[in-house]
Amino acid sequence: MSDYERSTTTKTLATLPHEIRAAILAKAESQQLTVPDTAVAFLTHSRKRKRGLLGRLVDRDDEHHTALVIGDKDVLVCRSAAKAGQQVLSGRLEDLSLGSRIAAETYAAAGVSPGDGMTINGFHVGKDRGSYYVGLGAPDGEKAREALEAALRRAKA
């Protein structure tokens, strides 16, 4: 079982919560990206099931939202929490990849749902490249994974 209880819903950039949409648009503008209001987006609400001492030191918020916005050429991911605020990553679809899928048996052995999330690799972090884990849940978590996989395939074709 995951440390988080998650739910993912399908949205568009225009229908994301105001503070998340504003952070994403500010990042897009700073990177000179064009992402239309109709761009498909997925919003995941994550609530921590349990919190140990380390969890309190690392993550000050018991819950947060993560928005995944898939544009024609770019992906933007925003993590938004009450205390931590909003952080946004962006990357070109042609530069990104997904971590390899793990067999359902491996997830079961770890006690984690296969739809619990995905790792997106290739975000520019300073001079380096980084990865970001996007947590997913029902009802639309698998739809988010499939939409990103399809966009990555199109960008690399």
Q: What is the pLDDT of residues 61-117, one digit of tens each?
A: 789 999 999 999 999 999 999 999 999 999 999 999 998 665 555 655 666 555 588
pTM (predicted TM-score): 0.86
Structural domain spans, the chain: 4-156
d(CA 134, CA 6): 11
Domain boundaries 4-156, corresponding CATH code: 2.30.29
d(CA 22, CA 31): 14
* Strand ordering across the sheet containing 128-135: 97-98, 117-125, 128-135
d(CA 86, CA 143): 24
